[in-house]
Amino acid sequence: MPNNSPLKPKATRKAKTKANKKIDKAIPKEKKYARQRIQEKKKAEIDKINKGLMKERLERQARAISSPSSSSSSSSSYSWETSSFLLGDKEEPNHKQKDDVSFECLLCLEDIQDIIEKQNDNKRGGIDGGLSLWCCDQRDCGALFCISCAIQYIKPPFPGLMGKSTCPACRRPWDIKIIKNQARAFDPELLLEERG
């Protein structure tokens, strides 16, 4: 009796190999596309971070528009003039913004502008009273202090002990020699008080 099956064994094998080849072509090779996938992942992460930052920025601007900060007791108070972009006014340039920041000494909480004016009135502190201020020289800190507060801060509490030598803002060490040199240039009596 002859074999009346619709498919011959050879035809089935050929179909299987063709199907396997198509599947192999459809599945991307890992080595070939690995670099591209890594770049796509990095780009997606960066886009996600940028979206988050943009959202935070817009929320901050919306809060600044709705309730402008008027507290002068905080160490830095910002008053924003809203940009015309947020108000929808298209006649003026979009990037008008003004930041008013009040700076004060972190130790005595006296306003920096008052300190400089006092030193200018007393004709001390060098050009524009600059020697009366100490700015933390550590990277990304820049905290401002009166030079007299900085000297009092680094003084040892009792004779024979070491004083504090780190910035109160960033907690990184100061170069004590530089502070003492500036204090000596500003007022030699500050260092005499330290020894006495």
What are the pLDDT digits (tens) for 10-64? 667 788 888 888 777 766 666 667 778 888 888 888 888 888 888 888 888 777 7
Confidence band of 128 (pLDDT split at 50, 70, 90)? low
What are the pLDDT digits (tens) for 73-122? 444 444 444 444 444 444 545 554 544 445 777 778 788 778 888 877 77
Q: Residue 124: which of 134, 133, 136 has the closest Cα?
A: 133
User: Residue 170: is it exposed, middle or buried by C-beta count within 10 angstroms (0-12/13-18/19+)?
Assistant: middle
- Return the pLDDT at 158: 58
- Return the pLDDT at 36: 80
DSSP state of 6: S
Find where tokens 């796509």 sit. 40
